[in-house]
């Protein structure tokens, strides 16, 4: 029974994902111009961005926590969240690109939303290049945390504010048909909201696994005291010049 | 109440004056260092001139939008190179000395101010070089200069922290570029959009919303630099 209470959200995740995939392909959809059957991509493409944004929010919270606590576990959670966020971002890009090929006729178009996504991916790939360029664990964690907060502060305007300044080709923008408040479709709502929850839970699940693997690796390499920030001897004045 | 708060007030005033003095002397130190190593700034200006000349010989005729976009790209790459040296080219031991005499927040404020000043010089020189070499399609000259100066300030504010981060990581200018280019993209797009209004003979609807967005991004950059730099500097 206690196993159930530990794993209930993972069970929920599996059930909701099965529901998303089955209902996503079989639910009746409204007949809209341009979109037609491709509107079903709403259940797969859009939740990817929800999951990515949430993972990046988690990572920035843990980066701030690291700067206060100096506990390497917080850094591991932050970098794992970025990693999983990046994975879902790439999944969102791929599902969007194959949809765009069918609907707009091109893999990539000059659209403000695509631009925001590209900026996000470039930023967080640069974050990993930056992490890879440092050997010292504490220094890497500190510089990465500072960078993560800076990047988040520019990423949010890039994906939420700038696209709203200009028109987008995306459904719901610039007079394009979409599933929205005025052409409300209840059947789709009943799949869309569970789909968002399902993919977000999946992202959280993957993130905890990635973080736990890294924590085990670090504990094996650095000994049992590596996560005990208070016991660690901090660099004295003599070490600062290094 | 006034009697009790007066020493507190005068105390904080003294600290404030000391802070201004420290920032002022750190700023003057930057100017003096720049003057002693004149080759660095002249190198940047030469880079700017060479790029502008390259554009002049590569293009026969330019559309006004192309003129603007190329101008911003030239300025952007010059800014990356100019601001990169503010942390990357300084000797590591020297920072230890700065931090032993001043709060790290004062150091970053002085760096931000100095980079803004240098970027403004580069921007103004850039506009003159670029418009003399390539016939300028700009109608609203005053407005365009204001946007260029605002853009130079935005570049300086955004790149100073990136330079500090890159200097901590590996003292590597390539890292500075890959961190900075996606980071500056929203600002660059706003600047290109804002400066396109300078091509019009009459600005009918002034782009307040874009201008406010750019200014708020600048405010965020300054606030983040002040909050995060003290966490970054210690090795």
**pLDDT tens-digit map of A55-114:** 999 999 999 999 998 899 999 999 999 999 999 999 999 998 888 888 888 888 777 778
CA distance B129 to B131: 6
Question: What is the end-to-end Cα distance of chain A in Å, rounded?
Answer: 54
| Contact indicator for B220, A134 with CB cutoff of 8 Å | no
CA B173, B176, B182, B186 dihedral sign is negative
The reply to whether A120 falls in a domain is yes
Which chain B residues are within 8 Å of A122, Cβ to Cβ? 181-182
| Relative orientation angle of helices B64-88 and B173-196, to the nearest 10 degrees | 150
CA distance B90 to B2: 47
The minimum CA-CA distance between B129 and chain A, rounded to whole Å, is 31
The minimum CA-CA distance between A150 and chain B, rounded to whole Å, is 7
The reply to whether A234 falls in a domain is no
The reply to whether A164 falls in a domain is yes
| Contact indicator for A124, A82 with CB cutoff of 8 Å | yes
Which chain B residues are within 8 Å of A149, Cβ to Cβ? 224, 228
User: Which one, of A78, A158, A63, lies nearest residue A120 by Cα?
Assistant: A158
User: Which one, of B175, B103, B30, lies nearest residue A143 by Cα?
Assistant: B175
The reply to whether A5 falls in a domain is no
Tell me, yes or no, if B161 comes closer than 8 A to chain A by beta carbon: yes
The reply to whether A115 falls in a domain is yes
The reply to whether A138 falls in a domain is yes
For A210-239, letters b (16+ CB in 10 Å) and e give: bbeebbeebeeeeeeebbebeeeeeeeeee
Which chain B residues are within 8 Å of A241, Cβ to Cβ? 92-93, 96, 235
The answer to whether A142 contacts B185, with C-beta atoms less than 8 Å apart, is no
CA distance B3 to B20: 26
Number of domains forming the structure of chain A: 1
The minimum CA-CA distance between B125 and chain A, rounded to whole Å, is 29
Q: Which positions of chain A have pLDDT values less than 50?
A: 181-182, 231-242
User: Which one, of B30, B158, B163, B32, lies nearest residue B106 by Cα?
Assistant: B30
The reply to whether A236 falls in a domain is no
Tell me, yes or no, if A165 comes closer than 8 A to chain B by beta carbon: yes
Enclosing domain of residue A39:
10-224
| Segment-wise mean pLDDT, segments of 10 residues, chain B, 235 residues | 55 83 88 85 92 89 89 94 82 78 88 94 94 86 93 95 87 82 89 89 83 92 93 80
Please report the pLDDT score of residue B232 as a whole number.
Answer: 87
The answer to whether A157 contacts B217, with C-beta atoms less than 8 Å apart, is yes
Encoding tokens for residue A127? 């974050």
Name the H helices within chain B: 2-36, 38-58, 64-88, 92-101, 104-133, 141-169, 173-196, 208-232
């Amino acid at each position: 029974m206690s196993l159930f209470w530990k794993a209930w959200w993972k069970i929920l995740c599996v059930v909701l994902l099965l529901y998303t995939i089955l209902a996503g392909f079989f639910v009746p959809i409204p007949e809209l111009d341009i979109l037609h059957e491709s509107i079903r991509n709403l259940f797969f493409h859009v939740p990817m961005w929800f999951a990515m944004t949430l993972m990046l929010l988690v990572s920035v919270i843990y980066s701030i926590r690291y700067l206060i606590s100096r506990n390497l576990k917080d850094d591991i959670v932050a970098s794992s969240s970025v990693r999983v966020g990046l994975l879902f971002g790439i999944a969102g890009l791929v599902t969007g690109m194959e949809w765009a090929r069918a609907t707009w006729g091109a893999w990539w178009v000059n659209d403000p939303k695509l631009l925001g996504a590209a900026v996000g991916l470039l930023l967080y790939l640069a974050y990993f290049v930056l992490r890879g360029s440092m050997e010292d664990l504490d220094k890497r964690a500190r510089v990465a945390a500072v960078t993560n907060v800076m990047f988040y502060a520019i990423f949010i305007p890039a994906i939420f504010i700038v696209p709203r300044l200009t028109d987008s080709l995306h459904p719901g923008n610039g007079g394009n048909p979409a599933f929205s408040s005025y052409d409300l479709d209840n059947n789709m709502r009943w799949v869309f909201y569970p789909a968002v929850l399902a993919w977000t839970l999946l992202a959280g699940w993957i993130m905890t696994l990635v973080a736990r693997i890294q924590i085990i690796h670090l504990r094996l390499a650095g000994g049992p005291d590596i996560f005990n920030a208070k016991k660690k001897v901090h660099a004295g004045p003599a070490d600062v010049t290094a | 109440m006034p009697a009790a708060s007066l020493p507190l007030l005068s105390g904080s005033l003294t600290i404030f004056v000391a802070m201004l003095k420290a920032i002022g002397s750190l700023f003057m130190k930057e100017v003096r260092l720049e003057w002693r190593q004149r080759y660095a700034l002249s190198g940047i200006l030469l880079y700017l001139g060479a790029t502008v000349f390259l554009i002049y010989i590569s293009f026969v005729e330019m559309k006004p939008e192309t003129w603007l976009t190329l101008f911003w790209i030239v300025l952007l790459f010059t800014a990356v190179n100019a601001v990169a040296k503010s942390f990357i080219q300084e000797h590591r031991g020297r920072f230890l000395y700065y931090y032993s005499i001043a709060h790290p927040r004062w150091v970053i404020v002085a760096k931000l101010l100095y980079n803004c000043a240098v970027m403004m010089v580069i921007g103004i020189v850039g506009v003159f070089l670029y418009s003399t070499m390539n016939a300028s399609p700009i109608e609203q000259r005053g407005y365009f200069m204001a946007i260029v100066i605002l853009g130079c300030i935005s570049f300086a504010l955004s790149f100073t922290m990136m330079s500090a981060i890159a200097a901590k990581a590996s003292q590597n200018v390539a890292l500075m570029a890959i961190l900075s280019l996606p980071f500056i993209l929203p600002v660059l797009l706003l600047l290109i959009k804002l400066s396109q209004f300078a091509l019009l003979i009459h600005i009918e609807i002034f782009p307040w919303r874009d201008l406010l967005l750019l200014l708020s991004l600048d405010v965020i950059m300054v606030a983040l630099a002040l909050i995060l730099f003290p966490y970054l500097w210690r090795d």
